[in-house]
Amino acid sequence: MPHPHLMVENSPAGYRWLRLSRPERRNALDLSLMRAVTDSLALEPEVPVVLGSADPRVFCAGADLTISEAERAGVSDLIYDCCETIITRPGPVIAVLTGAAVGGGAQLAAASDLRIAGPAARLRFIGPPGRDLAVGAWLLPELVGRGPALELVLTGRWVEAAEALAFGLVNRVCDDPDGVAAQIAADLARRGTGAGVKTVMAAGSLLDRLRAERSANRSAWARVTGTTPTASPGS
C-alpha cells in the first residue's frame, strides 16, 4: 500500500527511488513510516534502491519526538529491522544526503551501501537526551575506525560533509548528489554487483554488533516505559 510520507518511483533504468516526504516533521519517523520504508526495501531485494528525501533541506530527523515513549521505543526497534534489511538484501542501497541526518536517520544513511552527499549534508549520531541509547556504535567502526567512531557516538556532535568525506563516512560530496546516485544505481542495475558481495561483507561482527546494540536499546527503552524488553525472531 502507498504511504503518504514515502514517495516510490521505479526507474526504467532498473532501480527504485525511495524518498522520505514528511517535510513538516523533517521526515521524522513514526511506526507506519518506518514499516513502509522497511517493506519497500524488502520488496524485490535484488533491485538497486536510491534512498533520499523529497525535501533537500533534510534527510531524516530520526524518531518523531511528538509520539509517545512507547511508540518511539517501537520506532527505535524497527530502525534495526530496516538496517538489517539494508545490509542483507543483495541489491545495493545508495543514500542521498543533501541536508541533516540525525539519530535513526543517520543510522539509515550509514547502513546504506553507498552515501552520496551534497555540500550541505551533515550527520549526527545521537538519541533523545536522558534515554542512554547507543546510536550507531554497531556500524561506525566499520566505516571510520574505532577511535573516530567512539568520539562521534559519545559526543553526538555534528559531522559536516567535508569531514564526513575525510572520515569515509560518505563516499562522495558533489553538487548534484541525486544525479550522481541515479547514475550509479542505473549502472549497477545494468551490470550487476556480483553474487554474494554483500553477504560476504555482512558476515561476522557487523550483524552481531547490530543485534547487540538493538538489545541494549530495548533494555534502555524498557527502563523509560516501565515494560519488559522483548526479543523478535532472529534478533
Q: What is the pLDDT of residues 47-83, one digit of tens each?
A: 999 999 999 999 999 999 999 999 999 999 999 999 9
- Report the alpha-carbon angle 177-183-185, nearest 5: 100
Cell of 27: 521526515
CATH of 6-225, one of 3.40.50.920, 3.40.50.410, 3.40.50.300, 3.90.226.10: 3.90.226.10
Q: What pLDDT does residue 195 have?
A: 59
> Are the C-beta atoms of residues 3 and 32 closer than 8 Å to each other?
yes
Listed range (81-85, 109-113, 220-224) with the worst mean pLDDT: 220-224
Nearest to 94 by CA among 170, 204, 10, 8: 170
Is 116:96 a contact under the CB 8 Å cutoff?
yes
pLDDT of residue 59: 98
What's the CA gap between 70 and 227, in Å, rounded? 9
Q: State the Cα–Cα distance between residues 67 and 221, nearest whole angstrom.
A: 14
Gap between the Cα atoms of 203 and 209, Å rounded: 11
Please state the pTM of the whole predicted model.
Answer: 0.92
Nearest CA-CA partner of 145 in 153, 135, 134, 156: 153
Query: By mean pLDDT, which of 56-70, 71-85, 161-175, 191-205 is the weakest?
Result: 191-205
Evaluate whether 221 touches 76 at the Cβ level (below 8 Å). Answer: yes
The answer to whether residue 14 scores a pLDDT higher than 60 is yes
Q: Which residues contact 9 (CB under 8 A, 6 or more apart)?
A: 16, 17, 19
